[in-house]
Structure 1
Amino acid sequence: MNTILKQVALITQIDQLIRLQATGTPEAFAYRLGISKTKLYRVLKTMKLLKASILYDMTLQSFVYETVVEFQYGFYDLEIGKVNRLSLKK
């Protein structure tokens, strides 16, 4: 379970930096996240499989979303309409 939470936290962090168009080069991005470039590309591939339209913009030197997307996770109470999200706090 801890592994899943770490993956969600990493995807959330990557998502935020992509939205800010502040990832830098793949090498700098991986370093900033504290992961290898190979792992970065593996996570980006997973995100793309989940329908995130990610590409690298050479002009901005940042990964960007080609279309507007939203990353959500958690369980949703359909009867009440409340969202119960996973807590990433340790």
Structure 2
Amino acid sequence: MSTRIAIEQIRKINQLIIKKNTGKPAEMAVKLDCSLTTLFTYLAMMRTMGAPIQYNKFKQTYYYEEEGNFVIGFVPK
């Protein structure tokens, strides 16, 4: 997995989570054009970096436990 592709996929995951429009994990993997294993790897990476990601079984979507945004990259002052 290249770094550029991983970063782009994480950005897409972040947007889907913010919109609360991920769907079930299998549906989300289709939206990202990746395998379930790869999706779970991305989610684990994001959690390791502090993203409070949870899954709501009733609404069938991932969400952040608190409002926020997952940002990757340099932000100048």
TM norm. shorter chain > 0.5: yes
Question: Cα–Cα, structure 1 residues 7 and 59, in superposed 2: closer, same or farther, change >3 Å?
Answer: same
More helix by share: 2
Q: Which moved more, 1:28-37 or 1:2-11?
A: 2-11
1:75 offset after TM fit, Å?
Answer: 2.6
Match runs of 1:71-86 below 5 Å: 71-77=70-76, 81=77
Gaps in structure 1 of 5+ consecutive residues: 82-90
Higher relative contact order (CA 8 A, sep 6+): 2
More strand by share: 1
Runs of 4+ aligned residues of structure 1 deviating over 6 Å after TM superposition are: none
Gaps in structure 2 of 5+ consecutive residues: none
Partner of 1:69 in structure 2?
Answer: 68
Q: Pairwise CA RMSD of aligned residues? A: 1.5
Partner of 1:34 in structure 2?
Answer: 33
Q: How many residues align?
A: 77
